[in-house]
């Protein structure tokens, strides 16, 4: 494993529920010839400085995240879309090291396919902001307030999507209304949800 990056070692050395699984995934990914970097606090593997795969963990599982997984054939049906909002990336999830060892060859094949996707310059066709439904509560507010409507459509597409995701994820109408109310001033100031 010549292409190990010492800056990433801490991730594998720190106490974790998934330590053995992480180590196994690292061996598999590094055997694919990718370079190892640290991104978002996780081991990220690149081909010619382009992100291919990331190792990360959650409470219930650890996973390999393939950045352009939506473009892979997924012949074995193992790719998972984390949420409806994730357009490009796909995960392969694990709850123990045996699962990883069992499909090691398949994982390598998926990684090699992801490298080929990158070499070919393929891109995931992302949805436009206009493809997203505006929650009814927000639409009513936009219809009543011309300056809010103008300010919202002046935001970058990413900021618009951020608000639409956040507003629409609330299950109850009352919660959606409260979110819209809370963030109206930020929209009027031309700021995004996280600004």
Residue 109 tokens read as 């094949």
User: Does the residue 194 lie in any domain?
Assistant: no
Where b means 16+ CB within 10 Å and e means fewer, 15-32 reads eeebbebbebbbebbbeb
Q: How confident is the model at residue 1 (pLDDT cuts 50, 70, 90)?
A: low
Q: Looking at residue 60, which CATH number applies to its domain?
A: 3.90.1150.200
CA distance 71 to 120: 11
Does 129 score more than 80 pLDDT?
Answer: no
Say what the pLDDT of residue 194 is.
79
Say what the pLDDT of residue 87 is.
82
Say what the pLDDT of residue 165 is.
83
Does 126 score more than 80 pLDDT?
Answer: no
Instruction: Specify the residue for token string 């978002």.
Output: 40
The count of domains in the chain is: 2
Range of the domain at 138: 129-188
Query: Do residue 65 and residue 90 come from a single domain?
Result: yes
pLDDT digits (tens, 9 = 90+) for 8-38: 999 999 999 999 999 999 999 999 999 999 9
pLDDT-above-90 percentage for the chain: 79
Q: Which of 66, 70, 103 is nearest to 84 (CA)?
A: 70
pLDDT digits (tens, 9 = 90+) for 96-118: 999 999 999 999 999 999 999 99
Rounded to the nearest 10 degrees, the angle between the axes of helix 173-188 and helix 146-154 is 70
Residue 85 tokens read as 């909002």
Q: Which helix (H) or strand (E) holds 167?
A: helix 157-168
Does 76 score more than 90 pLDDT?
Answer: yes
Query: Do residue 111 and residue 147 come from a single domain?
Result: no
Average pLDDT of 77-89?
87
Q: How confident is the model at residue 131 (pLDDT cuts 50, 70, 90)?
A: confident
| More confident site: 158 or 69 | 69
Phi, psi angles (nearest 5°) of residue 118: -65, -45
As a whole number, the mean pLDDT across the chain is 92
Query: Do residue 70 and residue 26 come from a single domain?
Result: yes
CA distance 34 to 50: 10
Does 70 score more than 90 pLDDT?
Answer: yes
Task: Return the sign of the alpha-carbon dihedral for residues 154, 40, 166, 127.
Answer: positive
Query: Do residue 103 and residue 62 come from a single domain?
Result: yes
Say what the pLDDT of residue 170 is.
86
Residue 88 tokens read as 């490009």
Spatial neighbors of 184 by CB under 8 A, at least 6 apart, are 141, 145, 148
- Is residue 66 within 8 A of residue 114, CB to CB? The reply is yes
Spatial neighbors of 109 by CB under 8 A, at least 6 apart, are none
CA distance 86 to 171: 19
Question: What pTM, to 2 d.p., does this model score?
Answer: 0.73
User: Does the residue 164 lie in any domain?
Assistant: yes
């Amino acid at each position: 494993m010549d292409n190990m990056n010492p800056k990433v070692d801490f991730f594998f050395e720190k106490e974790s529920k998934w330590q053995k699984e992480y180590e196994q995934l690292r061996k598999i990914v590094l055997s694919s010839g990718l370079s190892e970097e640290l991104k978002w606090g996780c081991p990220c593997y690149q081909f010619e400085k382009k992100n291919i795969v990331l190792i990360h963990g959650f409470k219930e599982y650890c996973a390999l995240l393939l950045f352009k997984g939506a473009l892979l054939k997924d012949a074995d049906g193992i790719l998972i879309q984390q949420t409806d909002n994730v357009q490009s990336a796909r995960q392969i999830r694990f709850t123990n090291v045996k699962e990883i060892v069992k499909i090691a060859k398949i994982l390598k094949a998926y990684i090699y396919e992801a490298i080929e996707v990158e070499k070919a310059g393929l891109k995931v066709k992302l949805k436009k902001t206009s493809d997203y439904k505006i929650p009814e509560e927000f639409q009513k507010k936009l219809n009543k307030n011309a300056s809010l409507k103008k300010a919202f459509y002046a935001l970058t597409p990413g900021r618009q999507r951020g608000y639409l995701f956040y507003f629409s994820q609330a299950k109850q109408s009352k919660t959606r209304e409260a979110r819209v109310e809370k963030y109206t001033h930020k929209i009027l100031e031309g700021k995004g949800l996280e600004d």
